[in-house]
Structure 1
Amino acid sequence: MNWLSARADYIGQIKGELVLKRALLGIALSAVLVLSACSSSQSSSGAANEPKDLVVAFGSEPVTLDPQDTSDGISNNANELIFDKLVTLDKNNAIVPQLAKEWTTSPDGKKITFKLREGAKFTDGTPVNAESVKYTFDRVINKDNKLNRYSLYAEFIDKVNVDSEYQVSFDLKFPFGPALITFAHTNGGIQSPKNIKEKGKDVGKSPVGSGPYKVKEWVPGNKLVFEANPDYWGEKPKMRTITFKPVAENSARSVMLETGEADIIVPVVTTDVDRLKSNDKVKVSVEPSSRNLYMSINTTKAPFDNPKVRQAVNYAVDKETIVKKILSGQAKVSDAAIGEMVWGYSSAGAYPYDPEKAKQLLAEAGVKPGTTIKLWTPDGRYLMDRQIAEFIQGNLQAVGFKVEYRKWEFGAFQEATRDPKAEFDLALNSWGTSTNDADWGLRPILMTKGASNYSKLADPQLDALIDKGMKAASPDERKKIYSDALKLVKDQAPWIFLLDYKQTTGYRSNLDNVYSWSNERLILRDVVKK
């Protein structure tokens, strides 16, 4: 494929630059050794204990640092450093206190009360109190503000009450099983009301939270630098700075990890995993994930307004080869719209690879060979996204389509696919069910009004099932509802169902406490650099 030769050229260029760098470093080494010899053991010991700098290379960069307007994982990784929430998750994905020191739920399940810790402050010096919690959530549940995570909270929060300076309560519209895990979501980060009022629509570029880090510098397309918050109310920050660098080329990230230019890389290109594991200066973590990858089908445009055509393209794509050859087995073929890590999952059955069946359905639907369709993909946001999209392009051309292919930088891709007048027919998307509950695995991306419903599917029967599943009190009842919903989604085929990812993280061996939650959130607060 073309991407293989491009990859080889790119790696060759990087390696050539590294040879030059090493030569220059060698020239300087003797001078460094002389200076080191003159240093006292006391100063060496002091340097060892000084806060360190951490560099993390991602496939793309954050889109916004407004937690209530964030819908992508890398922005959420950044927001976890800046903002505290009422509750959070520990290393084992259990709910634990953060800004709230304790909480209670009413017997009828329709009221949750949080008692806040006293003394926490935002980095602008203003206090974290019940008023700031109310302001944050009132802002996101106000439909007029048009924030991306409106539906995450507005669907179940009726009213936010300031009971006292350090006690806040939420009146719920109905008993909502995933309420606490939803408050633990990164989108529940508490913001400084003062900063929001001052910055307005620019708050996503100049955020103020109460977390252990604050933004020092953001150079779009180059780097985002966080610096330690010296007045943090909790355990002091482990790092002096943490820098996010966007590196779209998968193998370039691996080279950066091997040379030490990056301390952590996400994701790790599958073809480099074995090589990196053999390097004693590098570790690779492969963990289960709640993230899937799918191709949104624009159900409002002919010929894809016909479910038979949507089913046809599902038969046309060889998912097994994508998993085995492109992802080297570090994924599994999707057999439902949500993965098995998500509560409420049940298998609806995968579409097998059957190009003859695809051609038959296309002929029955009256789709003529040579019909032109537009396929869009981000480049570098998801593991092997561009390569997978190119492979799918070939599969679809093999059953008679003429496929116009376009790759995008992720921020521009998101903006373009959200446009109501978007011209794509197929767009490569991914969804990490960050609450690990089927409600959030389906509601935002498959309900008619879902903020991330890129397929533009409008199915009243599915809407009713998802709504019923959200409001049902019994876990067994909810599971049955979601099973029915997943079967309906398969039949409607608003996507080309592709795969469920595993999450791969590469990091230098001198780091401790590098881990991710099962919702793929990379947690950097606890990382220690030796």
Structure 2
Amino acid sequence: DPDSRAIALQTGELDLIQGAEGEISPGTFVRLRDAGFNTAISAPLATRTVAMNTGQAPTNELVVRQAINQAVDKDTIIAKVLHGLEPRADALFSSNMPYANIGLKALPYDPDHARQALDAAGWKIPAGKTVREKDGQPLSTELVFLGTSALQKSLAEIIQGELAKVGIEVKLRAEEEGSLVQRQREGRFGMIFADTWGAPYDPHSFVSSMRYPGHADYMAQRGLPMKDAIDHEIAEVLGQTDEGKRAEGYREILTTLHDQAVYLPVSYLTAISVSAKGVDNVQFGSTLFDVPFEAMRPATGKP
């Protein structure tokens, strides 16, 4: 477990802790860094994101999805929960991923604008209440997260608190992994954590999965009026051999999903490394799962 790993490193039982699967908490990483251990953070490898269900009210409304994006202070989340170890995500894929460097800009953090947009769309806060309503229906949605993940729980609670400030009620539902996967497949969620897969799967395999009902992304996108066109464009781009046309196809797909605010990108996932003084030439691989041990060596220089 994360605490045991940290203790083992401090006592000399371990020389290296490295990975992107929560091997230690962000807070422990900072503590070990401050204690003098060698630390490093990789370039972005995937995206930590929340998918919103466009086929289910109230997240079927674009203005609601946009308001959610504008009401969540991602910089504070990164500073307070992730201890600055992951850069803020402004789009579904980081610009260092293939075909993703297309200049997409996130909606700015602006809760006042979110409130104004919701007011204009008919979502008003009745006297004596804190949750917006329209046509007698509350502006309420459910955020599903993995119950065994302390990090997802913390993120979910902060998102819940941020959205409450603009009159959106978020009900949190913790699920064990099997139930969470089933909810993804059946589209039984208002919002759900749906991180991208990272290299080598981003963008090709991840985008391909958007066409199949067994994935959260298909279910999140199913309410879009242009969903059939998106799926057709995905099929075209995956079979495209012309590099320029493939790049343009990805630009259209990613721009459409971005403009439709299907996702709330939070941060770009990174791998962390903490090592003792006796380890030299520590490096990161190109995926979430690679640890290039072959490049590392004892600090003495001996093989």
- TM-based fold match above 0.5: yes
Provide the rounded CA distance (Å) in 2 between the counterparts of 1:464 and 1:419.
Answer: 21
Provide the rounded CA distance (Å) in 2 between the counterparts of 1:406 and 1:261.
Answer: 39
2:164 equivalent to 1:397: yes
Provide the rounded CA distance (Å) in 1 between the counterparts of 2:5 and 2:157.
Answer: 21
2:61 equivalent to 1:271: no
Secondary structure of 2:87's counterpart equals strand
Kept after mapping to 2: 8 A contact 1:436/1:519? no
Provide the rounded CA distance (Å) in 2 between the counterparts of 1:252 and 1:402.
Answer: 38
Provide the rounded CA distance (Å) in 2 between the counterparts of 1:359 and 1:503.
Answer: 36
Shift of 1:278: 4.4
The residue aligned with 1:314 is: 69
CA distances 1:283-330 after superposition (whole Å, capped 9, x unpaired): 423111321011111222111122221111111111122223332332
TM-score of the two chains, using structure 1 as the length reference:
0.47
The residue aligned with 1:417 is: 183
Provide the rounded CA distance (Å) in 2 between the counterparts of 1:336 and 1:467.
Answer: 22
Provide the rounded CA distance (Å) in 2 between the counterparts of 1:394 and 1:450.
Answer: 30
Kept after mapping to 1: 8 A contact 2:187/2:220? no
Report 1 or 2 for greater relative contact order, CA contacts < 8 Å, sequence distance ≥ 6: 2
2:142 equivalent to 1:374: yes
> How many residues matched?
277
Secondary structure of 2:220's counterpart equals coil
Secondary structure of 1:334's counterpart equals coil
Provide the rounded CA distance (Å) in 1 between the counterparts of 2:250 and 2:75.
Answer: 26
Residues 329, 364 of structure 1: alpha-carbon distance in 2 compared, 3 angstrom cutoff: same
1:438 to 193, 203, 223: 203
The residue aligned with 1:29 is: none
Q: Which has the higher strand share?
A: 1
Secondary structure of 1:431's counterpart equals coil
The residue aligned with 1:406 is: 173
Kept after mapping to 2: 8 A contact 1:514/1:526? no
CA distances 1:465-484 after superposition (whole Å, capped 9, x unpaired): 22222111122221122112
Kept after mapping to 2: 8 A contact 1:373/1:402? yes
Identity %: 24
User: What letter is aligned with 1:426?
Assistant: M
Secondary structure of 1:467's counterpart equals helix
Secondary structure of 1:327's counterpart equals coil
Secondary structure of 1:337's counterpart equals coil
Shift of 1:402: 2.4
Provide the rounded CA distance (Å) in 1 between the counterparts of 2:173 and 2:118.
Answer: 24
The residue aligned with 1:305 is: 60
Provide the rounded CA distance (Å) in 2 between the counterparts of 1:408 and 1:449.
Answer: 20
Shift of 1:343: 0.6
Provide the rounded CA distance (Å) in 2 between the counterparts of 1:476 and 1:521.
Answer: 30
Unmatched tracts of structure 2, length 5 or more? 126-130, 132-137, 299-303
Residues 455, 285 of structure 1: alpha-carbon distance in 2 compared, 3 angstrom cutoff: farther
Provide the rounded CA distance (Å) in 2 between the counterparts of 1:527 and 1:401.
Answer: 50
Give the 5 Å matches for 1:30-429. Answer: 247=1, 253-259=5-11, 264=17, 266=19, 267=22, 268-279=24-35, 282-345=37-100, 346-367=102-123, 369=125, 370=131, 371=138, 372-378=140-146, 384-409=151-176, 411-412=177-178, 414-420=180-186, 422=188, 424-429=189-194
The residue aligned with 2:301 is: none
Residues 519, 265 of structure 1: alpha-carbon distance in 2 compared, 3 angstrom cutoff: closer
Provide the rounded CA distance (Å) in 1 between the counterparts of 2:286 and 2:119.
Answer: 42
Mark the structure with the bigger radius of gyration. 1
TM-score of the two chains, using structure 2 as the length reference:
0.77
Secondary structure of 2:186's counterpart equals coil
Provide the rounded CA distance (Å) in 1 between the counterparts of 2:122 and 2:103.
Answer: 31
User: What letter is aligned with 2:233?
Assistant: L
Provide the rounded CA distance (Å) in 2 between the counterparts of 1:465 and 1:497.
Answer: 22
Residues 367, 255 of structure 1: alpha-carbon distance in 2 compared, 3 angstrom cutoff: farther
RMSD after superposition: 3.1
The residue aligned with 2:134 is: none
Shift of 1:407: 3.2
Shift of 1:393: 1.0
Residues 414, 318 of structure 1: alpha-carbon distance in 2 compared, 3 angstrom cutoff: same
Residues 318, 347 of structure 1: alpha-carbon distance in 2 compared, 3 angstrom cutoff: same
Provide the rounded CA distance (Å) in 2 between the counterparts of 1:417 and 1:507.
Answer: 39
CA distances 1:250-287 after superposition (whole Å, capped 9, x unpaired): 6665345434566535434333334313445x442311
Provide the rounded CA distance (Å) in 1 between the counterparts of 2:69 and 2:35.
Answer: 40
User: What letter is aligned with 1:429?
Assistant: A
The residue aligned with 2:270 is: 502
